[in-house]
Amino acid sequence: MAQKILSLAFFVLALSSSADAAKVGDIIFDDKAESLKKAGMGPAVFPHSKHEAIYKCDDCHPKLFKDKHGANDITMQKNMSGEFCGNLDCHNSQKTFPLYQCKKCHRERQ
């Protein structure tokens, strides 16, 4: 009986930790600091949890974004050319705000 209870507890714990693993939170794109500084823009902030509430993981991964932090070479030029956030199903569509509304993603430098 104790074995069954322990197995059930482990199963419930595994389920809850895998559900939490999907929660990423905000992703800050500041690795292009020099180009951002040159453009007078702060880092872009991607609200991953807001997107998780609307979309399924496979809506974006791996067709738009690789599943590894730092593996996507995201630039504004690529976004404006229809890649990444600028995909025709994302911010180059009628579904949401357009890419040229810079302050929706870019924070001001402090």
Interval 17-52: pLDDT, tens: 445 455 789 999 877 778 888 888 899 999 999 999
- In total, how many domains does the chain have? 1
- Tell whether 16 is covered by a domain: no
pTM of the complete model: 0.72
Within a domain: residue 4? no
Domain of 55, in residue numbers: 24-104
List the CATH number of the domain containing 33: 3.90.10.10
Instruction: Provide the terminal-to-terminal Cα distance of the chain, rounded to the nearest Å.
Output: 59
pLDDT the model gives residue 40:
86
According to the model, what pLDDT value does residue 24 have?
86
Quick: pLDDT tens for 58-76. Answer: 999 999 999 988 899 998 9
Residue 109 resides in a domain: no
Domain presence at residue 8: no
pLDDT at 35: 82
Is the model's pLDDT at 56 over the cut of 60?
yes
The pair of structure tokens assigned to 62 is: 């791996």
Under a CB-based contact definition with an 8 Å cutoff, are residues 46 and 64 in contact? no
Question: What confidence category does residue 12 fall into, taking pLDDT thresholds of 50, 70 and 90?
Answer: very low
Model confidence at 6: pLDDT above 90:
no
Identify the pLDDT of residue 4: 43
Helical segments of the chain, H only? 2-21, 33-39, 48-54, 57-60, 76-80
Residue 8: pLDDT band (50, 70, 90) is very low
